[in-house]
Amino acid sequence: EVQLVESGGGFVQPGGSLRLSCAASGFAFSSYWMIWVRQAPGKGLEWVADIKPDGAERHYLDSVKGRFTVSRDNAKNSLYLQMYSLRAEDTAVYYCATGAWFGEHWGQGTLVTVSS
């Protein structure tokens, strides 16, 4: 059974940093593209970033370019999202999901709150 478990969310002040993790199990993690999608409270879904199985290719939402970095450790079956210079508008539940284009399997999400 595919399992994705996000962690690392929390409360951070504007300008702060946070590192999200996504622990994967139940599938060949090293063979899959992975994505991060976020959802602000009461709002819709927003695609944030993706990463190729070998980590050699990554894409980002324009508003997070230069502030967020997606990475992975295939030996640890883990996906990461390093977030810097956080803004209030980054407040959201962050989901990791499998898939090159669309999200096939999703984690339960981790909440990031950016506020002073």
Residues that bind another protein (CB under 8 A): 37, 44-47, 49-50, 59-62, 95, 97, 101-104, 106-109
Name beta bridge partners: 50: 35, 59
Rounded to a whole number of angstroms, the minimum distance from the CB of residue 2 to another protein is: 12
End-to-end CA distance of the chain: 40
Shorter beta-carbon distance to another protein: residue 49 or 83: 49
**Nearer to another protein by C-beta: 20 or 37?**
37
CA distance 21 to 8: 6
For another protein, the closer of residues 86 and 93 by Cβ is 93
At its nearest, how many Å lie between another protein and the CB of residue 1? Answer: 13
The nearest distance, CB 17 to another protein, in angstroms, is 22
